[in-house]
Amino acid sequence: MPLASFRVALLLSLGLLSAAAAPRSFGQEVEDSIYGPLPVFEFHSGFWVNLHHFLYHEARAREAARESRGTGTKPAGPGLKQPPGSQPTLTPAEQRIWEEAIAYYVSSYAGKDLLVNTDLILLKDQLGDFEDCNELTGRKKPACDAGLPGNVGIILEAAAPIYRAHWWADHDRANRRWVVRVAPLVREQGVGLSERLADIYQSKWPKEKIRVEVCAFANSAGAYTTLDPLRVTIASTDPRNQGPEALEVLFHEASHDIARPVEAAITRECRQRDKPIPRDLWHALIFFTTGEVLRPIMQQAEQQNAPDDDLPPQRQTTATVPPGLSEKLSQRGWEEYSRLLAIYWQPYLDGKVTFEDAIARLVSAV
């Protein structure tokens, strides 16, 4: 069976993406699901990127289990939620190779952050670039030499047949189902949302579509973004990334790049006032802004799914933060930022003050 590095963006454009199809194979029939070319984002469910994140997830879970011994707590087990008895059983040879791969990830990567560690960022990008190759070391095909550091290429190649045999079909299917569900929202709302957010941040949306690596697992937040090149990684199985929330996550993550003028303005204003730069204020602002811009879409989705006599109330323009957005901010310890953004940033979103005045008043109040 050939390597199933399914290129979702291309197949969406060709109208060949199926919500329930297994990884592609020769002669395999798939049910057509036509959405047409998508704007703004380019989705990929790549074999190597998924294997990499799965091994990272398994290694982190292994470390968490080790650290929890003696505390009486049991960490959540890795892997997709599956019916009892469906957990794969590896042969002794497979188990040995798989354990070696996890051990390598434990020693090399488990203690590092996917979001900020340069080695992990470069590795993720390289694996994405070589998603159409069935090897990474170029032993059979020189063009498929990804130039990976250390022994990670050898480790991944050894683990690949095991992952493909026992996990990849389910992971790839989950990824493609997620894309099929979010595709209509991206097609209907993508251009307008990208233009609105770029206008708010006084920036420009990238001319090229933003590459989104759709994986069964991402990081602890369920999604993360790396820059230069701008790429988003999102977990298709994370409960926080489902339904209309998926659209919010996508645009929040993409905003990490286009919101650079906000971060620069906050830094500049703090220096002029001889104040320390408030940690994560810009990030809280991105959360707040994305939630506010997508609010009409989220409300419409809620209204469509709610009984006629139980419609959610329309948002009123006040210096308060809606409960859902407030909860997301408070989970990160940004309650005070949340309050200040509602007072000083919301008027800018409502067109009542300028960008410069909003930033100045926000920084002054921090």
CA–CA separation, 325 vs 109, rounded Å? 33
Best CA proximity match to 287, nearest among 197, 159, 157, 185: 197
The boundaries of the domain holding residue 353 are 260-303+316-366
Asked if residue 54 belongs to a domain, the reply is yes
Q: Are residues 134 and 216 in the same domain?
A: yes
Best CA proximity match to 312, nearest among 320, 328, 324, 326: 324
Mean pLDDT of 244-273: 94
Asked if residue 344 belongs to a domain, the reply is yes
The reported pLDDT for the residue numbered 279 is: 86
Asked if residue 232 belongs to a domain, the reply is yes
317 against 287, higher pLDDT: 287
Angle at 152 between CA 151 and CA 157, to 5 degrees: 105
Q: Are residues 124 and 239 in the same domain?
A: yes
Q: Are residues 245 and 264 in the same domain?
A: no
* Confidence at 70, pLDDT banded by 50, 70, 90: low
Query: Into how many domains does the chain fold?
Result: 2
Q: What is the mean pLDDT of the chain?
A: 82
Beta strands in the chain (DSSP E): 41-44, 210-215, 223-226, 231-235
CA–CA separation, 139 vs 154, rounded Å? 11
307 against 18, higher pLDDT: 307
Q: Assess contact for 223 and 71: CB atoms under 8 A.
A: no
Q: Assess contact for 15 and 36: CB atoms under 8 A.
A: yes
Q: Are residues 287 and 215 in the same domain?
A: no
**φ/ψ of residue 62, rounded to 5:** -65, -40
* Confidence at 318, pLDDT banded by 50, 70, 90: very low
pLDDT tens-digit map of 188-212? 989 999 999 999 999 999 989 999 9
The one-letter amino acid code at 87 reads Q
Q: Is residue 322 scored above 60 in pLDDT?
A: no
Q: Assess contact for 19 and 39: CB atoms under 8 A.
A: no
Q: Are residues 232 and 282 in the same domain?
A: no
The reported pLDDT for the residue numbered 335 is: 87
Asked if residue 5 belongs to a domain, the reply is yes
The reported pLDDT for the residue numbered 181 is: 93
271 against 297, higher pLDDT: 271
* Confidence at 305, pLDDT banded by 50, 70, 90: low
Q: Is residue 11 scored above 60 in pLDDT?
A: no
Q: Are residues 264 and 121 in the same domain?
A: no
Asked if residue 73 belongs to a domain, the reply is no
Q: Are residues 121 and 228 in the same domain?
A: yes
Q: Which residue has the tokens 């650079």?
A: 260
Asked if residue 345 belongs to a domain, the reply is yes
Q: Are residues 355 and 249 in the same domain?
A: no
CA distances from 3 to 12, 95, 161, 162, 234 (A): 19, 21, 10, 12, 21
Q: Are residues 156 and 196 in the same domain?
A: yes
SS3 category, 145 = strand
Q: Is residue 167 scored above 50 in pLDDT?
A: yes
